[in-house]
Amino acid sequence: MSNENTPSWNFLTNHSHVLICLARNAEQPLREVALSVGITERAVQRIVAELEEAGYLERMRVGRQNCYLIHTEGRLRHPLEAHRTIGALLDVVVPRPTKRIDLGGHGSEI
């Protein structure tokens, strides 16, 4: 998916790109996340599973679709950034939440 206008490297990882996409729209299908990030849907599924396993993300069923809740209190993993949270990273790159969804009676901002 690269062309001559695409940089050969990025400051953020695909894991952070997936988190950013889900923070912007927690209800979007993973195929849309894959298109936004520029990786395969299978790679996004693997990343989501890793983020869930590490406790950064929670998948919930809302009707017939998945919705993703990001645990913003989780710390960044690299020692240089471990003093910061996922929430601090998202605050820099994602506009403040404006939409509320019903998570089975646990209304939550996303």
CATH number of the domain that 82 lies in? 1.10.10.10
Residue 101 inside a domain? The answer is: yes
State the pLDDT at residue 89.
Answer: 94
Residue 71 inside a domain? The answer is: yes
Residue 85 identity (one-letter amino acid)? T
Residue 63 inside a domain? The answer is: yes
State the pLDDT at residue 3.
Answer: 61
State the pLDDT at residue 95.
Answer: 76
Full residue range of the structural domain in which residue 73 is found: 14-109
Sign of the alpha-carbon dihedral angle for 65, 28, 52, 84: negative
Residue 1 inside a domain? The answer is: no
Residue 4 inside a domain? The answer is: no
What does the pLDDT look like over 36-91, one tens digit per residue?
999 999 999 999 999 999 999 999 998 999 999 999 999 999 999 999 999 999 99
Please answer whether residues 18 and 30 qualify as being in contact, where contact means their C-beta atoms are separated by less than 8 angstroms. no
Among candidate residues 33, 38, 39, the one with its CA nearest the CA of residue 19 = 33
Count of structural domains, the chain: 1
Residue 77 inside a domain? The answer is: yes
Residue 102 inside a domain? The answer is: yes
Q: What share of the chain is helix, strand, coil (3-state, %, to 5)?
A: 35, 15, 45
Residue 8 inside a domain? The answer is: no
